[in-house]
């Protein structure tokens, strides 16, 4: 039962109207810049696999450095339902697939009003709706948006199971856990944080009493896992590979090129400057910290404590693992937003009743304004700039120039260009943009007879000097592709 003081918006119709407006605003914020960024290398790799699946080339799980299959099947399914063909797949359409998950997460947060209170839920939803991190990664065609959605859905389902331990509730918990695992293998980290939160806020005997329900949930999770990792019962070794992947993950988490300091996420949210551009969300951090503190005092409920412990432990786990990228913050960020909502409402409740709503609205407006200012920079001026702390190895905004130049050269030649792309990491996202061109070859080192290709694109990280007259095109921070043509080329 939610304490009355946390229900700043007690009327259900008003709450639904506010939640609906927030969702519509969030959709608009995410939809407008959807074409602004060229595909990130990771997005292109996911899109390529979706394209292959849609072309009927099937899917087999690869345990080396890859994630679960859910995103590809979801995108291919939505594509089939929407009538998209492999040729008509593009960035905007594929990003709509993850946008659905992002809006779903916002709806889940708003839906937590029954347990957290309408005030914290609405403010949390508003803060996540305007958060630059969420605006960016809700339209990033990688697994994170769906992963976050399933995690928060599982959070809600677990709270429900604890309150009403019915069989459908247990099956829902299992199904969502299975979908999390089918989306990203790192779900074990989220399971650990959720488990800790549940154990810390529920008497052990009460949880143990539910063992038949837990068994039903486990069975459902395993079933969902097998369905996806076996590529719908066509590739059985994928079921074993899905477990084998953890050996690689353990090594990758310990030592990788993506290693960051333990306080990386804290630094990201603290005020800082990157080559003159100002960033940081200190007020959100402070409000969330206050909310986490209030969660352990009256009139907070076990659901508030569960939220605080889950968010804190998930942030702790991600901070302890050396492998860090900004998008991993997406799930705990939603928790921070809810905690900030809780902090705002509790802080307002310390005041006389007649000031509460006004103060809460003022604080919320201040936080929202800050978020929108950052959001404007993060998806506007610095949408593909590596000074944007929410991005990681972004594709250069000038990359479309290269795509246009290659099309222009092909049009001049009047036939498909013979192109050799020489890059240690295959110059992603370039393979996505020329996925249907059979005369594009991708080499990690220069192939023999390089001069016979019409165009050569050479990665600036290779030791060889760029050929005379070669044109540079930006790929990623500090990585250029040198475009060169032999003298006889068209």
The sign of the CA dihedral 194, 196, 201, 204 is positive
Binding track over 283-322 against another protein, x by CB under 8 A: ----------------------------------------
- With CB under 8 A as the contact rule, the residue among 8, 15, 42, 152 that binds another protein is 42
Stretch that binds another protein, among 151-159, 189-197, 294-302, 388-396 (CB under 8 A): 388-396
Q: Does 271 bind another protein (CB under 8 A)?
A: no
Task: Tell me the residue ranges of DSSP E strands in 22-139.
Answer: none
d(CA 222, CA 301): 32
Q: Does 57 bind another protein (CB under 8 A)?
A: no
CB 449 → another protein: shortest distance, Å?
A: 7
176 neighbors 157 (Cβ within 8 angstroms): yes
Q: Does 163 bind another protein (CB under 8 A)?
A: no
d(CA 131, CA 140): 14
Q: Does 412 bind another protein (CB under 8 A)?
A: no
Stretch that binds another protein, among 219-227, 235-243, 307-315, 473-481 (CB under 8 A): 473-481
52 neighbors 75 (Cβ within 8 angstroms): no
- With CB under 8 A as the contact rule, the residue among 26, 41, 89, 321 that binds another protein is 41
Report the site for another protein in 431-470 (rule: CB under 8 A): 431, 438-444, 447, 449, 452-453, 460-461, 469
Q: Does 169 bind another protein (CB under 8 A)?
A: no
Residue closer to another protein, measured from CB, 214 or 249:
249
Residue closer to another protein, measured from CB, 334 or 420:
420
Report the site for another protein in 200-229 (rule: CB under 8 A): none
Place of tokens 């063909």: 85
- The verdict on whether omega for the bond into residue 429 sits within 30 degrees of 0, i.e. cis, is yes
Torsion on CA atoms 400, 406, 408, 414, rounded to nearest 10: -150
Q: Does 276 bind another protein (CB under 8 A)?
A: yes
Q: Does 407 bind another protein (CB under 8 A)?
A: no
- With CB under 8 A as the contact rule, the residue among 213, 304, 356, 476 that binds another protein is 476
Rg (CA), the chain: 24
- With CB under 8 A as the contact rule, the residue among 398, 407, 411, 486 that binds another protein is 398
d(CA 50, CA 94): 9
CB 118 → another protein: shortest distance, Å?
A: 38
d(CA 46, CA 57): 14
Residue closer to another protein, measured from CB, 81 or 275:
275
∠318-316-243 over CA atoms, to 5°?
Answer: 45
334 neighbors 342 (Cβ within 8 angstroms): no
Pick from 119, 41, 8: nearest CA to 396: 41
∠399-401-402 over CA atoms, to 5°?
Answer: 70
Residue closer to another protein, measured from CB, 280 or 299:
280
Two structure tokens written together for 363? 């604080």
CB 419 → another protein: shortest distance, Å?
A: 9
369 neighbors 284 (Cβ within 8 angstroms): no
- The residue ranges that bind another protein (CB under 8 A) are 41-42, 45, 48-49, 62, 65-66, 257-258, 273, 275-277, 325, 381-382, 384-387, 392-393, 396-398, 401, 418, 421, 425-428, 430-431, 438-444, 447, 449, 452-453, 460-461, 469, 471-474, 476-480
């Amino acid at each position: 039962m939610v304490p009355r003081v946390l229900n700043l918006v007690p009327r259900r119709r008003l709450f639904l109207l506010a939640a609906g407006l927030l969702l519509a605003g969030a959709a608009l914020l995410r939809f407008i810049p959807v074409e602004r960024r060229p595909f990130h290398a990771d997005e292109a790799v996911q899109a390529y696999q979706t394209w292959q699946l849609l072309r009927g080339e099937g899917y087999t799980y690869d345990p080396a450095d890859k994630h679960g299959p859910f995103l590809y099947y979801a995108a291919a399914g939505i594509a089939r339902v929407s009538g998209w063909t492999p040729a008509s797949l593009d960035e905007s359409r594929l990003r709509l697939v993850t946008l659905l998950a992002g809006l779903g997460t916002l709806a889940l947060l708003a839906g937590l009003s029954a347990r957290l209170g309408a005030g914290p839920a609405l403010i949390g939803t508003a803060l996540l709706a305007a958060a630059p991190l969420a605006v960016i990664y809700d339209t990033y065609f990688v697994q994170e948006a769906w992963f976050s959605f399933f995690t928060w859905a599982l959070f809600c389902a677990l709270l429900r199971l604890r309150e009403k331990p019915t069989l459908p509730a247990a099956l829902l918990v299992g199904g969502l856990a299975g979908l999390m695992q089918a989306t990203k293998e790192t779900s074990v980290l989220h399971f650990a944080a959720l488990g800790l939160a549940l154990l810390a806020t529920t008497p052990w005997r009460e949880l143990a009493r539910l063992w038949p329900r837990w068994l039903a949930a486990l069975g459902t999770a395993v079933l969902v896992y097998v369905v996806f990792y076996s590529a719908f019962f066509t590739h059985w070794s994928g079921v074993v590979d899905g477990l084998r992947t953890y050996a690689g993950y353990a090594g990758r988490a310990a030592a990788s090129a993506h290693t960051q300091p333990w306080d990386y996420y804290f630094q990201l949210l603290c005020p800082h400057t990157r080559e003159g551009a100002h960033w940081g969300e200190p007020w959100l951090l402070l409000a969330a910290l206050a909310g986490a503190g209030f969660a352990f005092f009256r009139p907070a409920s076990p659901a508030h404590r569960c939220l605080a412990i889950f968010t804190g432990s998930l942030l702790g786990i991600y901070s302890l693992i050396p492998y860090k990228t900004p998008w991993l913050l997406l799930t705990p960020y939603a928790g921070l937003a809810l905690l900030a909502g809780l902090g705002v409402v509790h802080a307002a409740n310390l005041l006389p009743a007649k000031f509460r709503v006004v103060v809460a609205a003022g604080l919320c407006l201040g936080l929202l304004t800050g978020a929108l200012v950052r959001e404007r920079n993060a998806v506007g001026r610095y949408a593909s700039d590596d000074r944007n702390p929410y991005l990681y190895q972004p594709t250069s905004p000038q990359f479309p120039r290269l795509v246009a130049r290659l099309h222009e050269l092909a049009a001049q030649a009047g036939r498909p260009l013979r192109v050799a792309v020489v890059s240690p990491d295959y110059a992603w996202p370039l393979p996505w943009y020329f996925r249907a061109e059979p005369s594009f070859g991708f080499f990690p080192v220069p192939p023999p007879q390089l001069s016979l290709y019409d165009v050569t694109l050479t990665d600036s990280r290779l030791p060889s000097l760029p050929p005379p007259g070669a044109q540079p095109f930006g790929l990623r921070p500090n990585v250029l592709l040198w475009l060169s043509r032999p003298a006889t080329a068209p």
